[in-house]
């Protein structure tokens, strides 16, 4: 029995050995085809490739650290191909290839490198976007949403444009020249001091379509115009009394002439002028605005609550200089107006208040130009009495607007 077991084991070992040799023979035959083909050599590829989108163009950029043996680079897309030597596209350790004259849209690019022996790298796939007119049409340009003029400057208020990185502001000044400023894309307000009424404004918005984009893209210019009709409230900070020989003092019953330009309405005694006993109606006062103004309109306020002595019928006279402008006749004299005109005073308005407290009037176009000094003359008040030596006069506030102001040198 023991000899039979030994014989059986020997037979099993032999069979196993024969199987192993047979398997090895089969593997060798399978590998032979591959071994006969020889060794495949791959060329190092351009690494970290990106396609930077631009206006009708893209730029490929990548690192050459792994492409030391490469001598050529081929870029393909659609049915087109570009081939360069590495020396042509190398900038330091970076490869850069600019591809121009492309239609707007998304592109799938393939990049592959080759060496002098014809060995090649794996072909890598990348995406890039080319921007064009369609992109421009979808963008929101910067423009001026509001213009706020005052005598010394114009305040421009801007809209918001999410992709704007710069805005070029071109505008016409008073000499008719175009002034240019480069402003940040997130600008909210701009102040300018020299601008022409009705003058042209051109805003060119520059956008960055993607992070690290190849181009900043200029949108179509947005055209606007400065207003032609502009009014400024004449600042009362430069007003002061200019007492002339036939003027009343205006400081009776707690009043003072300076009260009519202190900005305070109501019925406070020091916040208005008030005539004195016996000065009667008509009478007049004079003050200096401290600027030369082309006046357009004004507002006249009487004291509130108690209407007696508030102006009913009044005049405003104007002149640019007080040299030889003094009159000698009192307001009650019938010849007062003729003398005032002979001294250079211009009658700006002759008006009647319908409301005893608050009234507004416009000056006839071109009639109140280059006025510095104002002479207020009251002819009738809300009484009784409304005229004569027993009547008084008071005004709480005078406010003026102009479309042109020039400082006093």
Element containing residue 110 per DSSP (H, E): strand 105-114
Can you read off the two tokens belonging to residue 388?
């004569």
One-letter-per-residue 3-state SS of 57-97: EEEEEEECCCCCCCCEEEEEECCEEEEEEHHHHEECCEEEE
State the pLDDT at residue 15: 52
Write down the pTM of the prediction.
0.64
Q: Which domains, and CATH codes, for the chain? A: 47-130 (2.60.40.10), 135-228 (2.60.40.10), 233-407 (2.60.120.260)
State the pLDDT at residue 41: 80
State the pLDDT at residue 26: 53
CB-CB contact of 398 with 261 (8 Å)? yes
In angstroms, the CA 319 to CA 31 distance is 113
Using alpha carbons, select from 203, 200, 149, 156 the residue that is nearest to residue 174: 200
Distance linking the first and last C-alpha atoms of the chain: 139
Give residue-wise pLDDT tens across range 28-56: 554 545 445 456 688 999 999 999 999 99
Give residue-wise pLDDT tens across range 318-348: 999 999 999 999 999 999 999 999 999 999 9
């Amino acid at each position: 029995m023991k000899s039979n077991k030994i014989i059986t084991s020997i037979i099993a070992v032999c069979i196993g050995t024969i199987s192993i040799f047979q398997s090895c023979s089969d593997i060798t035959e399978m590998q032979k085809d591959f071994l006969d083909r020889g060794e495949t050599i791959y060329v190092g590829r351009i690494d970290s490739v990106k396609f930077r989108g631009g206006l009708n163009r893209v730029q490929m950029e990548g690192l050459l650290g792994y492409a030391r043996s490469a001598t050529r680079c081929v870029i393909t897309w659609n049915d087109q191909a570009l081939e360069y030597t590495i020396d042509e596209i190398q900038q330091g350790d970076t490869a850069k290839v600019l591809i121009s004259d492309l239609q707007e849209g998304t592109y799938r690019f393939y990049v592959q490198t080759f060496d002098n022996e014809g060995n090649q790298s794996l072909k890598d796939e990348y995406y890039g976007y080319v921007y064009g007119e369609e992109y421009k049409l979808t963008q929101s340009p910067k423009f001026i949403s509001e213009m706020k003029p005052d005598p010394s400057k114009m305040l421009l208020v801007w809209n918001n444009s999410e992709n704007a990185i710069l805005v070029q502001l071109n505008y016409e000044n008073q000499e008719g020249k175009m002034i240019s400023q480069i402003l940040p894309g997130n600008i909210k307000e701009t102040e300018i001091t020299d601008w022409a009424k009705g003058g042209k404004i051109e805003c060119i918005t520059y956008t960055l379509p993607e992070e690290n984009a190849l181009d900043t893209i200029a949108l179509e210019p947005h055209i606007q115009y400065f207003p032609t009709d502009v009014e400024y409230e004449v600042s009362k900070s430069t007003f002061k009394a200019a007492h002339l020989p036939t003027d009343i003092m205006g400081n009776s019953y707690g009043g003072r002439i300076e009260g009519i330009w202190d900005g305070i309405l109501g019925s406070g005694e020091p916040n208005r002028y008030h005539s004195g006993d016996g000065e009667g109606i008509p009478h007049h006062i004079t003050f200096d605005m401290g600027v030369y103004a082309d006046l357009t309109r004004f507002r006249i306020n009487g004291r509130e609550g108690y209407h007696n002595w508030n102006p009913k019928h009044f005049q405003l006279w104007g002149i640019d200089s007080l040299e030889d402008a003094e009159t000698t006749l009192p307001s009650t004299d019938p010849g007062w107006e003729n003398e005032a005109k002979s001294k250079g005073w211009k009658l700006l308005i002759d008006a009647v208040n319908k409301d005893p407290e608050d009234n507004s009037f416009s000056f006839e176009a071109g009639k109140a130009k280059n006025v510095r000094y104002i002479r207020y003359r009251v002819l009738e008040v809300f009484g009784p009495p409304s005229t004569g030596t027993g009547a008084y006069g008071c005004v709480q506030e005078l406010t003026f607007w102009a479309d042109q102001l020039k400082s006093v040198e």
